[in-house]
Amino acid sequence: MKAIVQRGYGDADVLELADVDKPVIRDDEVLIRVRAASVHAGDALLMQGIPYVMRVGFGLRRPRNPIPGLDVAGTVESVGSKVSRFAPGDEVFGNGKGALAEYAAAKESRLVAKPANLTFGEATVLTVSGLTALKAVRDVGNVQPGQSVLINGAAGGIGVFAIQIAKLLGAEVTAVCSVGKADLVRSLGADHVIDYAEEDFTRSDRRYDFILDNVGNRSLAECRRVLSPNGTLIPNSGTAGGKWIGPLVPMGQAVMTSPFVSQNLRTFLSTANENDLNSLVELVASGKVVPVIGNTYALSEAAEAMRVVAGGHAEGKVVITVAAD
């Protein structure tokens, strides 16, 4: 099969299209004939091998899994002996391994059925970014009607979902992004837009009940300045803190500071699961949440797609279309 292969860490030049064997699935896994995959900031960080501490788990000199990509949508090719929810021919999406390929393996527990009214591209953008936004806004932030919410990095993969979910929960949303993306975030429901090139949101007189910081270009102390006394702040940037330990710096600061202040400084991990994926499916199928696809690339163009994501220039989600033989 054709797949994007990464034999070392670095920029997008380390990615190449190659012929490799199909994945061999385990008893609890599904083999998917990939129709679409999506890439996000986390994929770009894994490609670069930063923060460096991450390599302890993913491979010191090169990634243990040479085929990148987590978000996957496609048709079930075969199933393991312990799989009961899916059969060959079913259309599914969720979290897989090595999604930038014609075939990918995924655990049954991390997949759900693709609704007929969603394209494979629309389905594949939901998993990592959509679930992260859902958990951050709904579960960790516990956003309530009438609350004031600020989303830094509002036009990115997580931000476009976070805006919509916060509005569904009845919040007043302020989006921080570049001026060129202002129309997009307003179309998704943002009540106010801050152009980060012209205004530092941490210098505002306004206070927010919930801040989701997807960028990490402001310190925890600066963000706390505009957080209400009992508000919740989530530092959610993989690049904040530098190349060595990255997000462990703001996450550690949040954990150590939170017990001593009235503000709620939180960190969390989002993993794909059937219940949350189906919650997203219901929101999207009903038209309450709209997947935002900024750019679409062929599998052979995956390196260019990753350059866009790594450069922080993506608007919404980036999709890779895959056509298996």
Closest CA to 74 of 42, 43, 101, 56: 101
| Rounded Cα–Cα distance for residues 144 and 130 (Å) | 19
pLDDT digits (tens, 9 = 90+) for 273-320: 889 999 999 999 889 999 999 999 999 999 999 999 988 777 889 999
Query: Domains in the chain, ordered, with CATH?
Result: 2-125+291-321 (3.90.180.10), 129-265 (3.40.50.720)
75 or 61, greater pLDDT: 75
pLDDT > 60? residue 241:
no
Q: So what's the pLDDT on residue 270?
A: 76
Q: So what's the pLDDT on residue 325?
A: 42
Least confident of 42-46, 175-179, 210-214: 42-46
Residue 168 parent element (H or E): helix 157-168
pLDDT > 70? residue 249:
no
pLDDT > 50? residue 107:
yes
pLDDT digits (tens, 9 = 90+) for 154-206: 999 999 999 999 999 999 999 999 999 999 999 999 999 999 999 999 999 99
pLDDT > 50? residue 64:
yes
Q: So what's the pLDDT on residue 53?
A: 64
Chain center to CA of 37:
12
Closest CA to 4 of 309, 304, 295: 304
pTM (two decimals): 0.90
| Rounded Cα–Cα distance for residues 115 and 126 (Å) | 12
